[in-house]
Amino acid sequence: MAAFSALAGLAIGVYSIDDLKNGERSLWFYPLMLFLAGVVNGAFLTADLFNLYVWFEVMLIASFALMTVGGKKAQFEGGFKYVAINLVASALFLADLGLLYG
């Protein structure tokens, strides 16, 4: 899974070269994309559920930043909805961890 996500990240990086020419988004897109790829690989390579939860939360931050890089109103609205849904999912995941370890 880690190798596949790295391969997908490479494909996204190559595809985005033409899409981000002379754009303001290109300044932050590649560092955030690499950060997200690293977080996804961390989630795949973790050995326990609590660290998976931590990687899941960091993935939420990285993906939100990547979604709102353009700074448009629609991006922020979509990002807010994304964060709200993922916080509910995080709470459910954390509750499951409590049931397993509690």
**Residue-by-residue pLDDT tens, the chain, 102 positions:** 999 999 999 998 888 888 777 666 667 888 999 999 999 999 999 988 889 889 988 998 889 888 888 778 998 899 899 989 988 988 888 888 777 776
Cβ atoms of 62 and 32 closer than 8 Å? yes
The residue assigned the tokens 């994304």 is 82
Question: Does the model's pTM come out above 0.85?
Answer: no
Measured over the CA atoms of residue 11, residue 7, residue 42 and residue 85, the dihedral's sign is: positive
What does the alpha-carbon distance between residue 75 and residue 69 come to, in Å, rounded to a whole number?
8
Question: How far is 101 from 30, CA to CA, in rounded Å?
Answer: 38
